[in-house]
Structure 1
């Protein structure tokens, strides 16, 4: 094994057992969500009727095959995925370099989330004014084919993960045209175990030409599909009821603000652990392409079911909106403060000088907790769930799941920093003892 790509010794998610459980059960959870959000099944109350859900399932292989491989749905999804990939290559944007890789090089990225978002919104507005009574067949297609689209996204993420795993063994051409050079593998995905490396991601930054598959999947097909799924629920409620409830409007408004903030600030992804450390395998492919659009849209899909409409009124509407902005302010200002400190703009803030030469910030937002930005992100999640009221615990799945995800990230970061900074990290934790929520955790 080369010095550039040392063998991975530590396995995340409890190794094969945990990664196998995630691979099997998370797709099943998405299917359960979809079946529960079927208009023919009532989700009111605290109980979930498993028999009613199971009765909706196909009874034979032919029906399952028709659901999983609906030709029209597959054509639509492939046009969506690769159409966005092509747009990402031709739309204008700024050129940025990523963090320095282990071989001393830096990858170049085209950051054009703004032009991509404008193109999508302009296209939707043009279609809305073109049709009569805002009856968009594209949005109706999404709403009417939720189960098929969910299965398609899951299968496609499996296929994409297989492709990038096999592609990681294809030699990389040297820029000077002389022979090949070694690809940079993920520090987490080079165990030699085929299944685990496929799951966690073997290659750090799989690319075809200038198309960076990982960054593209991070923010484009899944995040923007989430936006369209939400709009399809608004479209359905309006044409079914003749009006759109304030709870549906609020969920769409708050989630659109969050997802477009992510797309418009995609440059921030270049320094995230997903980009700098994690390989691109099934975990990220499934998370980006299937989990995000079909679990994060759960609130809108629930509210679109006849009988689940909720009217909040101005007081609760304003209170939930305020909660979103508090969470958003903490999240954005904390991240901005950290970025400014790294760029030498806030040298007056207190920090710890480490033996590695870097500084650990222990002032401002980052003197309150080690991951204060996670708290802001979690509060945002609560603002998405509260508009659904308290008719069912189903719509609060996101805040429970997201809390576990944030804690897992915090634990991973703690282990990474302990290994990197040693005694300096122990000193840091004494000065900033709270991990996410001040005085609680």
Structure 2
């Protein structure tokens, strides 16, 4: 069997889809910044294009200044490098990942708790020692959003080219003999350089024992989101002398999401992103630029003086309830699947497959094929509802996330249909709903 089989199936309709995503999504982030900033923020569905046009760059020199601002690059490169060093050397536990196609397992350092705890401790300590809790770092982050957005976009291009080119360098031992092929992604070994660059040619690009893909998945983008949200809270407090319950709620809900991811980072090792997808522009851009700047859109909107919005107890606790229900569905369903795979729930109804595995058709997994996606989507709604009805723009996340979940569901279904054949048809009869029980 070939260690690195050629990719025959093309995601996103091949090169046309890859080109569209690569050119469009960075523009989307920049458009959001033009619509939500200290000089203008959209209200309702009508965009005042005359005001937006005044914010557009007047010449290429201004574009250059946004893209290559020295302070923004110095701040981001320091952020990325310091986190990378901490990722390697901070205390944690080393655990093996999934078995690779050559029978080996890579070790991963799991230390997100100590890293994120140290970050919060530093932020809190600095706030307590400075007058009126004023942190210049958070002020810089809030006031240089366009420069930092451009920096993260360009950096995601740089790192995706870097991992693509190193995927062609043979792995060698100290004696200089080529002893092991690089393991390529089953999705990114088409032979077309543009497509493979986008999808990710190598499965686990590494520098020594430092895993670039897992690091980007969990560290610089996720923790930057936390700081962006805090910078919004910081700005509102120092601008108005008070903070809204809606902005506090957004900070709490997304901080909970971030730290929950940190506490459960072991689970990432078996997720599609880490176990089967290569690391290319799609993941690099998604982790480093798309996640921090689109997920923070609601906080950045609520932080503006004219968008100060109080929910009140009823709305606030209703949103908390939606988030709690989503969280419960997401985690209890994933835990049930994990327990079943470990042989702890053999009494539950399942379907045996030709591969020797079993498909669970009872409990949470009897309600829909991806009930965990439904819980995740409810959490997404709780991130948008704190903005009320001021503008549909802040509900972009739930629309985008629904599209992402549908794409994942379609990919999973295609793989399972090919893997299980007639058994999958039997499974679909017993569990007909894809994501939302009794709806879809």
Q: TM-score, normalised on structure 2?
A: 0.98
Alignment check: 8 A CA contact 1:204 1:279 kept: yes
Within 1, Cα distance between the matches of 2:310 and 2:174? 60
Classify 1:412/1:176 alpha carbon distance in 2 versus 1 (closer, same or farther; 3 Å): farther
Could you tell me which residue of structure 2 aligns to residue 372 of structure 1?
371
- Corresponding residue pairs, total: 440
> SS at the partner of 1:13?
helix
Within 2, Cα distance between the matches of 1:322 and 1:137? 35
Alignment check: 8 A CA contact 1:113 1:265 kept: no
- Deviation digits for residues 131-163 of structure 1, max 9, x if unmatched? 111000010000000000000000000000000
- Deviation digits for residues 108-143 of structure 1, max 9, x if unmatched? 111111111111111111111111110000100000
Could you tell me which residue of structure 1 aligns to residue 424 of structure 2?
425
Deviation at 1:53, TM superposition (A): 2.1
Alignment check: 8 A CA contact 1:44 1:308 kept: no
Deviation at 1:367, TM superposition (A): 0.6
1:232-381 alignment runs, 5 A limit: 232-381=231-380
Within 2, Cα distance between the matches of 1:101 and 1:176? 24
1:12-411 alignment runs, 5 A limit: 12-174=11-173, 178-411=177-410
Within 2, Cα distance between the matches of 1:340 and 1:93? 25
- Deviation digits for residues 27-86 of structure 1, max 9, x if unmatched? 000001111111211311211233432321211111111111011110110010111010
> SS at the partner of 2:227?
helix
> SS at the partner of 2:307?
coil
Q: TM-score, normalised on structure 1?
A: 0.98
- Deviation digits for residues 257-303 of structure 1, max 9, x if unmatched? 01111122111110001111110000000000000000000000000
> SS at the partner of 2:95?
strand
Within 1, Cα distance between the matches of 2:190 and 2:54? 42
Greater Cα shift, 397-406 or 35-44: 35-44
> SS at the partner of 1:119?
helix
> SS at the partner of 1:307?
helix
Within 2, Cα distance between the matches of 1:55 and 1:334? 49
- Deviation digits for residues 198-240 of structure 1, max 9, x if unmatched? 0000000000001000000001000000000000000000001
Unaligned runs of 5+ in 1: none
Alignment check: 8 A CA contact 2:45 2:391 kept: yes
Within 2, Cα distance between the matches of 1:363 and 1:315? 35
Alignment check: 8 A CA contact 2:170 2:178 kept: no
Within 1, Cα distance between the matches of 2:35 and 2:425? 47
Could you tell me which residue of structure 2 aligns to residue 11 of structure 1?
10
Within 1, Cα distance between the matches of 2:66 and 2:304? 21
Alignment check: 8 A CA contact 1:220 1:263 kept: no
Within 1, Cα distance between the matches of 2:177 and 2:61? 52
Alignment check: 8 A CA contact 1:7 1:191 kept: yes
Deviation at 1:174, TM superposition (A): 4.1
Unaligned runs of 5+ in 2: none
Deviation at 1:178, TM superposition (A): 4.1
